[in-house]
C-alpha cells in the first residue's frame, strides 16, 4: 500500500470541503481556524497539489480538490459503517422512524402510545416524509415505506400486502346502489395520481367499459391524506389503499363501493441498513409493529 496522508488531515479536508468555509469547519471540528488551515496545508504539501482557493469571502475547492472529495466522502462513510457494525447502536434510547405522512397520521401515531408504554426507556421520534431516506446522511434508524420494494443498498422486510378499494362517504352514496358502477361513476371523483393506483383504476375502467380519459377529477394528488379527507367530507369517491382508511370504515365515515378489492401495487416495508435491524430498539419496535398491523387489518374484509 502506498503511503497515505494522515487521517486527520483528510478529515479536516472533508469537513472544510463540505462547509466551504474554514471558520465553519473549525466550529464543527471544535478546533481553531488556524488548526484547520494547518491541516489543509499539510495535506496539500503531502499531495503536492493545491486543494482550495481561499479569499476573504469564501473558500472553494480547486479542480483537484473536487476530484478528491467524493473518494474521501466514500472512505469516511465506509469507516463509519464498519465502526458502527462493531460498536452497535450509538443512541439506544432514541428510535428515529421515517414514514410516509398518510401511514404516520392515520395508523402509526394513534397507536404509538402503546409501544411507548411497553418501552418507556425508548423515546420515539417520527419524521413524516414522502422522500426515501438516505441512511448515510441522516440519523434515521428505521423507515416504514409504502411502495413496490427494491430499495437499493438497504435491507427490507415486507410486512403487509395491501388491497385497493373504492370508498366514499355514506352521505354521498345515499339513495344510489353503491354496488352499481354506472351510478357510482356519475359521482364526483377524487384521484390519487400515484402511478400504481392509476394503473389499477384504468384496469377497472377497462373491465366495465368506461373511458377513464373522459373522467375529470374534482381534486387530484399523490398525497393520500388530503384525498381521504376530501372523501370523508363527501366531495367524491376514491380508490385508495385499504390500510389507510381502515379506521374510517370502522367508524362509518366512509363505506366501501362496488364490491371491489384488488391487490395494491404498494406494500408496507420496513427498511434500514442490515446491521440496524440487529439493534435492540429496532427489534423491539418490529416485534410490536408487525403483530399489531396484522391484528388491526385482520377484520378488513368484514367492514362495509
Per-residue pLDDT averaged across 151-156, rounded? Answer: 91
User: What residues are paired with 66 via a beta bridge?
Assistant: none
What is the mean pLDDT of the segment spanning 198-216? 94
Topology of domain 7-87 in CATH is: Arc Repressor Mutant, subunit A (1.10.10)
How large is the C-alpha radius of gyration of the chain? 26
pTM of the model: 0.67
Can you tell me the distance from the alpha carbon of 256 to that of 168, in angstroms, rounded to the nearest whole number?
7
Residues 225 and 291: their CA atoms lie apart, in Å, by: 25
Mean pLDDT of 101-122: 90
What sign for the dihedral angle of Cα 147, 150, 151, 157? positive
Between 45-49, 76-80, 144-148, 248-252, the lowest mean confidence (pLDDT) is in 76-80
Please state the rounded mean pLDDT for residues 124-138. Answer: 86
**pLDDT at position 64:** 93
Q: Which three cell numbers stand for residue 110?
A: 394513534
Identify the CA nearest to 295 among candidates 230, 252, 243, 223. Answer: 243
Q: What is residue 1's predicted lDDT score, i.e. its pLDDT?
A: 47
Residue 80 pLDDT grade (very low, low, confident, very high; cuts 50, 70, 90) = confident
Q: What is the mean pLDDT of the chain?
A: 89
Domain formed by 89-304, architecture: 3-Layer(aba) Sandwich (3.40)
Domain ranges of the chain: 7-87, 89-304
The reply to whether domains 7-87 and 89-304 share a CATH topology is no
What pairing do the DSSP bridges indicate for beta strands 155-168 and 189-192? unpaired
pLDDT of 144: 94
* Residue pLDDT, tens place only, 21-53: 888 888 878 778 898 899 999 999 999 999 998
Residue 159 CB-density burial (10 A; 0-12 exposed, 13-18 middle, 19+ buried): middle
- Indicate if the pLDDT at residue 304 is higher than 60: no
Q: What are the tens digits of pLDDT across the range 161-204?
A: 889 999 999 999 999 999 999 999 999 999 999 999 999 999 99
Return the higher-pLDDT residue of 20 and 200. 200
Amino acid at each position: 500500500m502506498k503511503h497515505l496522508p494522515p487521517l486527520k488531515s483528510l478529515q479536516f479536508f472533508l469537513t472544510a470541503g463540505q462547509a466551504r468555509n474554514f471558520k465553519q469547519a473549525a466550529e464543527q471540528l471544535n478546533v481553531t481556524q488556524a488548526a484547520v488551515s494547518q491541516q489543509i496545508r499539510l495535506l496539500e504539501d503531502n499531495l503536492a497539489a493545491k486543494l482550495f482557493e481561499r479569499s476573504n469571502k469564501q473558500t472553494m475547492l480547486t479542480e483537484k480538490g473536487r476530484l478528491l472529495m467524493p473518494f474521501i466522502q466514500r472512505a469516511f462513510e465506509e469507516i463509519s459503517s464498519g465502526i458502527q457494525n462493531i460498536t452497535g447502536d450509538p443512541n439506544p434510547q432514541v428510535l428515529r422512524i421515517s414514514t410516509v405522512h398518510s401511514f404516520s397520521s392515520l395508523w402509526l401515531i394513534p397507536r404509538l402510545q402503546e409501544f411507548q408504554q411497553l418501552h418507556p426507556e425508548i423515546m420515539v421520534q417520527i419524521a413524516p416524509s414522502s422522500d426515501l431516506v438516505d441512511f448515510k446522511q441522516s440519523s434515521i434508524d428505521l423507515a416504514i415505506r409504502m411502495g413496490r420494494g427494491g430499495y437499493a443498498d438497504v435491507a427490507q422486510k415486507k410486512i403487509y400486502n395491501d388491497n385497493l378499494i373504492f370508498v366514499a362517504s355514506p352521505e354521498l352514496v345515499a339513495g344510489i346502489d353503491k354496488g352499481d358502477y354506472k351510478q357510482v361513476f356519475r359521482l364526483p371523483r377524487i384521484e390519487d395520481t400515484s402511478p400504481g393506483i392509476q394503473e389499477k383504476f384504468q384496469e377497472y375502467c377497462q373491465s366495465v367499459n368506461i373511458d377513464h380519459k373522459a373522467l375529470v377529477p374534482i381534486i387530484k394528488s399523490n398525497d393520500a391524506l388530503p384525498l381521504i379527507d376530501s372523501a370523508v367530507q363527501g366531495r367524491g369517491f376514491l380508490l385508495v389503499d385499504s390500510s389507510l382508511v381502515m379506521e374510517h370504515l370502522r367508524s362509518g365515515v366512509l363505506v366501501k363501493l362496488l364490491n371491489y378489492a384488488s391487490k395494491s401495487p404498494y406494500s408496507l416495508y420496513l427498511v434500514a441498513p442490515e446491521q440496524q435491524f440487529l439493534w435492540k430498539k429496532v427489534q423491539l419496535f418490529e416485534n410490536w409493529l408487525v403483530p399489531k398491523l396484522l391484528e388491526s387489518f385482520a377484520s378488513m374484509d368484514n367492514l362495509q
